[in-house]
Structure 1
Amino acid sequence: MKNIFVLIVFFFVCVSSCFACLETNQLKLFPIGIYNNSVISIDIQIQRRDRLGTEEEEMNEDFEPVSWIIQTRLSVYDLHQNLISSKLIDSTNAIGRSYLKELSKSHDKTVKLILEKYSTIELFEVKYLSFCDFQEECNNLTTQYDENTQTKKLTYENKEFDLAVFKDKTNYFLKDGYLENSVVSLSISSIRVYETKKVKLVIAHLGTGEYLPVLANLPRKEYKNEEIDYSSIKRFVYQEPVNHHGKGLDVFFSIVK
């Protein structure tokens, strides 16, 4: 009887932890193309928060305890992810487990601005997308921590690439301290490959956070989500996985063909 009681208590602690302190912070980059040898990107900063209501509201089974703050920027980077310029375009909120509807609206709005401002932009094609489930070694990409520089590096197809973003003092996301003391524990959540005729851009989402006790011992494996349509760069968005108390950002390097 005592063992049953302990299991019940453990179950409720795990369930409660899923909904308590839901704060996370991510920076997603959705590059659209190359213009004057620069990467034109739609940057999305996504913050998850607890959503509080009245006691009566929270007792309702339809009450959603999760909210999101979504800030969209039009950013320009060089081919090594050094930030050249960034302008806030939109800020919106979403409620519930998914924020894709609101994300898509902000993305569509910014795509229109990009096509008007950079009329001769060479658009990317998305060639590859997979999810690595927060591992350090994936099929074609691995990450390593460099003790000398105290930053992460990536190895792609047996070639090592430095990540200039970690040294960029002007980057608004890193400057605000969202990844302070967390760089060493970053692992790979997703991998994307974009291409134009002359440039290949490889993007990894590096994230950290906590695996809940009920998930911590499950095997991790790389996988693809066939429901995500990346046939059109103008519409391509998706919701990045995030750990409990998760933090993460998209990093990229380029290969000139």
Structure 2
Amino acid sequence: MNGPQIHVEFAPELLLFVPQARPTGATKTATDGVSSLGHVIESLGVPLTEVGALLVDGHEVPVSHVPAAGEAVTVRTVDRPQRVPGAPLRFLLDVHLGTLARRLRLLGVDTAYEATDIGDPALAARSAAEKRVMLSRDRGLLRRRELWAGAFVYSTRPDEQLQYVLDRFRPELRPWTRCTACNGLLRKASKEEVADQLKGGTHRTYDVFAQCTECERAYWKGAHHEQLEAIVERALSRSAQED
């Protein structure tokens, strides 16, 4: 683009994507008189999944607005909690977010996850077909038009990633109801039903079990239960405070 310039100011959270705007929070960019404001913002590095209201000279406009020379644009972040209309809230996680996927499942959040890299086109197609919010740190993936919905995961630390997703979307939490391995629903199971998965010490020590209705994996309150319980308690406590 080498036409007339516009002035674009970004919300602080979005400056991660726009290095040239970090010193002041704003930048000037050229337009071509044809491209939409959404296209201009993406060309500056910001995925539209991260964009909330767009203001031009103080008035809200759609992403389809074609900016004119001299306009002052304000780019806000998405509202919190972010409401995703059209389907039950559920997620699809990129290959690098395995720990986050397991923790969301632990909290009972419907979370699909690809453990192998199936490629951006396939991920975007699955997001659209299953109406799942795509969570990723891949900006290119989040810019794909076929995505149903998406969000950039800002941190690389699982604890911070989980808190971010819970704060941004406020999904309903139903801990201990999903398989952390495959996302299937859990049911109560007798010791006899899962005996083939138990070692001797487990068989003698524990009496309460659950089993995945999909992959048939068995669950019980084993050695890591206290650590998992702490994750659940933190999430429930934060959720209660926000309500």
- TM-score bracket for this pair, using the shorter chain length: under 0.3
TM-score (norm 2): 0.24
Q: Report the TM-score, using the length of structure 1 for normalisation.
A: 0.23
User: Higher helix fraction: Structure 1 or Structure 2?
Assistant: 2
Larger radius of gyration: 2
Q: Which has the higher contact order (CA 8 A, sep 6+)?
A: 1
